[in-house]
Structure 1
Amino acid sequence: PAHKQAIMRGVVDGNVDETEKEIGRVHALMERNPNLLVVPAHDYNAYAEEAVYPGFIAAR
C-alpha cells in the first residue's frame, strides 16, 4: 500500500493518520478478496481505455 505523491498528498490528505488507516483497510480488503480489482479514482493510467468516457458509452 502506498500514498499518493508527496505534493498531491499535501494538497488533498488533510488527515494523514486517517488516510494511512484507510489505506491499510483497503489493503486488508484486497488481501481477503484476491479477485477484487481496486482502481484508484485519481489514477487515470490504471483505467482500461474502454472504461473512460466517452469510450464506455461508445462500447455499448
Structure 2
Amino acid sequence: MSSFLDKSEAANLLGVKVTEIDEMIRNKEIPHLRIGRNIRFRLSTIQKWAEESRKNLA
C-alpha cells in the first residue's frame, strides 16, 4: 500500500462512506493534502488521527 491514500481508500480504512470523507474535508475535521485538484491522505497521519478520535470518544 502506498503511503498516500485517495478518498475511497481512506473511507475504506476508516469504515465510512466517501460522502462522509467529503463532509469531513469540507468541515476541516480530517487531515488531508490537496495536490492540484486531488485530495490525498498520508496513511500514518490518518492512522494517528483515527486513534486520537477513538480516544476522544471514550
TM-score of the pair, normalised by structure 2: 0.34
| Larger RCO, structures 1/2 (Cα 8 Å, 6+ apart) | 2
Larger Rg, first or second structure (1 or 2): 1
